[in-house]
């Protein structure tokens, strides 16, 4: 079988191929990991709608940790505590190194923010029992619509609502990472 190509088509194709590198876009090609989930899949997973304005990378990274068991002092997917979870997510998503303990995160890495001014990626601090009410011992990452992701001692990494009575009672402050 032979293919006939007229010389005009061949010339146009060659010119196109020669000029193609000159028309290169300034955008870089972004290769997404194989386990990267889209907004619809993440919306179903988190139980609220995600939009193009949301940090899809934050939600994707968080989704990889959902269900990981709590382990005091742990910092891997075999088991993680609340502050290590926040440290890992912040390093991966924002490229920032945070203090390892909850109290030190608030003291050294954050500017206090009221609950009504929380934005996606802000930290949320709680005192879940014992000690001074102003000294937090639990931390999570605010998502949106009153939801935050954290490593719970009873259920591992999960999404909770700030309006749950337990978190209303134990609320200390929000924190915007400097």
Nearest-angstrom CA–CA distance, 44 and 137: 30
Of the listed 82, 108, 110, 147, which one is catalytic? 82
Q: For residue 59, what are its two tokens?
A: 């939600």
Residue 150 annotated as catalytic: yes
- H-assigned helices in 73-170: 82-94, 102-104, 165-170
Instruction: Identify which of 76, 102, 55, 43 has the alpha carbon closest to the alpha carbon of residue 156.
Output: 76
Residue 138 annotated as catalytic: yes
- H-assigned helices in 25-109: 39-46, 56-65, 82-94, 102-104
Are 22 and 15 a contacting pair, CB within 8 Å? Answer: no
134 φ/ψ angles, rounded to the nearest 5 degrees: -85, -10
Q: For residue 60, what are its two tokens?
A: 């994707």
Are 158 and 135 a contacting pair, CB within 8 Å? Answer: no
82 φ/ψ angles, rounded to the nearest 5 degrees: -60, -45
Residue 82 annotated as catalytic: yes
Of the listed 23, 108, 110, 138, which one is catalytic? 138
Q: Which residues are catalytic?
A: 82, 138, 150
């Amino acid at each position: 079988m032979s293919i006939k190509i007229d010389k005009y088509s061949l010339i146009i194709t060659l010119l196109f191929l020669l000029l193609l590198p000159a028309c290169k876009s300034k955008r870089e090609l972004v290769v997404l990991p194989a386990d990267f989930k889209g907004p619809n899949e993440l919306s179903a997973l988190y139980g609220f709608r995600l939009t193009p304005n949301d940090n899809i990378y934050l939600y994707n990274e968080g989704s990889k940790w959902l269900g990981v068991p709590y382990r005091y002092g742990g910092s891997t997917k075999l088991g993680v505590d609340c502050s290590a979870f926040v440290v890992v997510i912040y390093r991966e998503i924002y490229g920032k190194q945070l203090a390892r303990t909850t109290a030190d995160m608030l003291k050294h890495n954050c500017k206090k923010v009221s609950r009504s001014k929380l934005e996606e990626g802000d930290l949320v601090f709680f005192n879940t029992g014992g000690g001074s009410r102003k000294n937090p011992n639990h931390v999570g990452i605010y998502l949106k619509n009153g939801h935050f992701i954290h490593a719970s001692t009873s259920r591992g990494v999960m999404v909770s609502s700030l309006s749950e009575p337990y978190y209303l009672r134990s609320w200390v402050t929000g924190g915007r990472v400097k």
